[in-house]
Amino acid sequence: MLNGGNLLFNRESLKPEKVIAGKLLADLIVSSYNKMGCDALNIGAYDLSLGVDFLRKKEKAAKFPFLSANIMDKHGKPVFTPSIVKKINGVKVGIFGICSDKLKLNKIPGGNKLKIANALAKAEETALQLQQQGADYIILLTTLNIRQCRRLGQRDMPIDLIVGSSKRNRISLPILVDDTYIVHVERGGKSVGRLDVSFLGPAGVQALSPAVRYKGKAVGDNLFLLNHFHPLKLDIPDHPEIAPMVKKVEISLSRLRQVKATQSMTIAGGGEKVKMAPGNSYVFAEACNKCHSLQFQRWQKTAHAKAYTSLIKNDKHFDEECISCHALGYSQAGGFTDLHQVGEFANVQCESCHGPGRLHVKSEGKTKLNRDLANGKMCLKCHIEERSPDFDLETYFHNVCGAAAMPKK
Ligand code: HEC
Ligand code: HEC
Ligand code: HEC
Ligand code: HEC
């Protein structure tokens, strides 16, 4: 099991208030990768967010090597193990790591003590070394983007497989460039890629069943590759040993946030600000019930009306990363900022979509509210690809609360 890098954090540098949480998560990732039986991790920019010394400590706790052939000290010596050779089922597999040379050293604690060597040149040099050491199959783990991976593939280096994890490339498209196979799994642990590599006998591909032959790809004379991607969906059961480890960290994080939330009334976040006309403010769903009871009853039956409960169930209601889409008016004018004071702002309400309604209610409907909602574009503020992959605007839009959703009289 291999990881292309950018595993431990999701930013190049952590804000001071995120450091404790970041460390807890990094520890959790390393210990769960230990349990899963990881073979090697490449170091990317997002692994260096707390500096080299921190990463070295994590490496001690890991049962697998941290690789990098192009992160050097000032004297040009590699800071991490550049490469390893492993014997797997009798085959000598060489594995090495390369990070993007665009990495911003000034953002990394202690980064002034480092140098990043040219990625392509180092990749070539290390691959040739591995070949000389007798590796039968050579794998590069890298945070280079797909374009750069392709260039590597075209350069006729002895690299059989590139496992990429650039922060920019989110799609997983296995591609073959000359004799190099390139796989790029989505960031953030959203899916697992499995590549079965078989060495073919003298009969070549013909020895395989047609069904298998059709799904995979023969490379060169004797290699056969079969690629699978497994998105990690919520309904996949958790590992019995890892699940409790995750739960424990989630509870610690939740406590941490409770402390922070009470200390600070002004947590940033929430994104784009809603304009608030003078005298207007939020009046909450119950206030609309009086005149729009059909819409109210309809809304009560939707997931929107229970969106905050979903966070509570997952111990995430004090997580500022979640609240903006699961409640009304977080960090907005007339809204709330203290995660402890969510009160009536809980859930996605009428005013999340139609805008603040005080003036509308006061004028008994004469002050117009938002009705066409930019043809549904506003739904996409919350229904982003990452959170709502199956969102189908066409079918949902007219049903969410409008006339189409009402029972026929
Ligand atoms: C303020 C954020 C927000 C906006 C704006 C929003 N939604 Fe949602 N929506 C959510 C959240 C959060 C959930 C999940 C609630 C839960 O289950 O916890 C959800 C769930 C849904 C669901 C049920 C889940 C599903 O995919 O089957 C539908 C349907 C839906 N929204 C449609 C819409 C439509 C249509 C619009 C635009 C008119 C819209 N939403 C605007 C946040 C939003
Ligand atoms: C950008 C807006 C957004 C953010 C941020 C967000 N959510 Fe959601 N969430 C949604 C939407 C939209 C849905 C509805 C998904 C669907 O079914 O299409 C949803 C659904 C859910 C659901 C219920 C459906 C399910 O998959 O079980 C849970 C639980 C949930 N979110 C938890 C969280 C947690 C925890 C966080 C913070 C880590 C979070 N959400 C952050 C928009 C968001
Ligand atoms: C997720 C976003 C969303 C929420 C939440 C929501 N609405 Fe709507 N509402 C819409 C959309 C979209 C339309 C337009 C539907 C159409 O054009 O078919 C609409 C239409 C309406 C209309 C116009 C008349 C009609 O039936 O077409 C009224 C009135 C209304 N909503 C009231 C409410 C009230 C009251 C609530 C809360 C109880 C509410 N809405 C919650 C999105 C929402
Ligand atoms: C005192 C009664 C009353 C209350 C309370 C009320 N509305 Fe209305 N609403 C109306 C009237 C009247 C109309 C105009 C209906 C028409 O022209 O067909 C209207 C129309 C709407 C429309 C269609 C667009 C528009 O402005 O014409 C939406 C959306 C809407 N209301 C949402 C809400 C929401 C959300 C709330 C709660 C914040 C709410 N209403 C509270 C009386 C009310």
Over the stretch 241-282, which tens digit does the pLDDT of each residue have? Answer: 999 998 888 877 776 665 544 333 222 233 455 668 888 999
CA–CA gap between residue 365 and residue 357 (Å, rounded): 9
Q: Which atom of ligand 1 is nearest to the CA of 324?
A: 1
Confidence class for position 380, pLDDT limits 50, 70, 90: confident
State the first-to-last Cα distance of the chain, in angstroms, to the nearest integer. Answer: 60
* pLDDT top residue among 311 and 211: 311
Q: How far apart are CA 321 and CA 280, in angstroms?
A: 27
Please give the average per-residue pLDDT across 63-88, as a whole number: 94
Q: Whose CA is nearest to atom 11 of ligand 3?
A: 402
Structure confidence by residue, pLDDT tens digits, 145-198: 888 888 988 988 899 899 888 766 555 557 888 878 888 776 666 677 787 878
Return the residue whose CA atom lies nearest to atom 23 of ligand 2.
Answer: 310
Alpha carbon of 362 to ligand 3 centroid (Å): 19
Nearest ligand to the CA of 370 is 4
**CA–CA distances in Å: residue 347 to residues 1, 311, 322, 403, 406:** 40, 10, 12, 22, 21
Q: Which of 352, 383, 393 to mutate to test the pocket of ligand 1 (most atoms within 8 A of CB)?
A: 383
Q: What gap in Å lies between CA 27 and CA 98, rounded to an integer?
A: 23
Q: Which of 302, 326, 331 is the pocket-test mutation for ligand 2 (most atoms within 8 Å of CB)?
A: 326
Residue 295 Cβ < 6 Å to ligand 3: yes
Q: Is the CB of 322 under 6 A from ligand 2?
A: yes
Q: Which residue has the higher pLDDT, 349 or 257?
A: 349
Q: How far, CA to CA in Å, does 216 sit from each of 88, 141, 157?
A: 21, 22, 23
How far is it, in rounded angstroms, from Cα 1 to Cα 366? 63
Q: Ligand 3 pocket test: which of 291, 293, 295, 300 has the largest number of ligand atoms within 8 Å of its C-beta?
A: 295
Please answer whether residues 121 and 79 qualify as being in contact, where contact means their C-beta atoms are separated by less than 8 angstroms.
no
